[in-house]
Amino acid sequence: MYFLQDYILFRPVTLKKEQKYHFPQKHKEVNIPVNEKSNLNIVQFLSDDSIAKGVILYFHGNRKNISWYAKYAPQFTHHGFEVWMIDYPGFGKSTGKFSEQILYDWAGYMYKFAQTKFSSDSIIIYGKSMGTGIAAHLASVQPCKKLLLETPYYDYPSVLRQYLPIYPIEWMIHYKMPTYRYITNVNASITIFHGTDDNVIRYGNAERLKQFLKPGDEFVTIKNGRHNDLFSFKQTVEKLDSLLKN
């Protein structure tokens, strides 16, 4: 577990830099050279409106790459938002060393890039699964309009502990991603979506975050919802629609 944890925890799919994306949505690809060995790849899905009213900075889960998560972009673009998705080092066309701190640093680079076009009160930070810890960290250090978390976790060790209860996970794992700690420092409104039948990040794990929410924040329980099907529920779609209309 200690020596193979990166392989166990993360399942990226790499792409050649010359490969073209063929998404049905209007989009632009941006590459930011972080250093000689690191390239940050971003896909910007454009708003259905001629002038975007804001941007969603979308941090995806621990599998595959942007190609897998692009299907969620229309949930936001039809409300007039652009959606910018980042691939982490080793995912898709992004290259470089992978670590928890680098994930936070790269999120910061994307935020600063977004600021060249949008004001902070037009930036919504969105995290899905693994990306929720990254999103929560970013929202704790940068101003934004909202923080939206889909299937979040209390922290990374607590997720692994449900599978390996007899092992000293806190000592073994390099990745902490303490979402619970970060959300206490978020000034923007927070909305959490989690399904009761999630077998990847269990509902009880995410439910521990409730105690750290401030007045006005929301924890939306999707009955029978699993880890990757929340958008098939009317409750999720209607709640997101109401959040993006404001």
Number of domains in the chain: 1
Q: What's the half-sphere exposure (Cβ side, CA atoms, 13 Å) at 104?
A: 17
Q: Report CA torsion sign: 199, 159, 128, 193.
A: positive
pLDDT digit string (tens) for the chain, length 246 residues? 666 677 778 899 999 999 999 999 999 999 999 999 999 999 999 998 888 999 999 999 999 999 999 999 999 999 999 999 999 999 999 999 999 999 999 999 999 999 999 999 999 999 999 999 999 999 999 999 999 999 999 999 888 777 666 666 676 788 899 999 999 999 999 999 999 999 999 999 999 999 999 999 999 999 999 999 999 999 999 999 999 986
Q: State both tokens at 232.
A: 């098939």
Q: How far is the C-alpha of 199 from the C-alpha of 34, rounded, in Å?
A: 36
Q: What is the CATH number of the domain that holds 101?
A: 3.40.50.1820
Residues of the domain holding 59 = 5-245
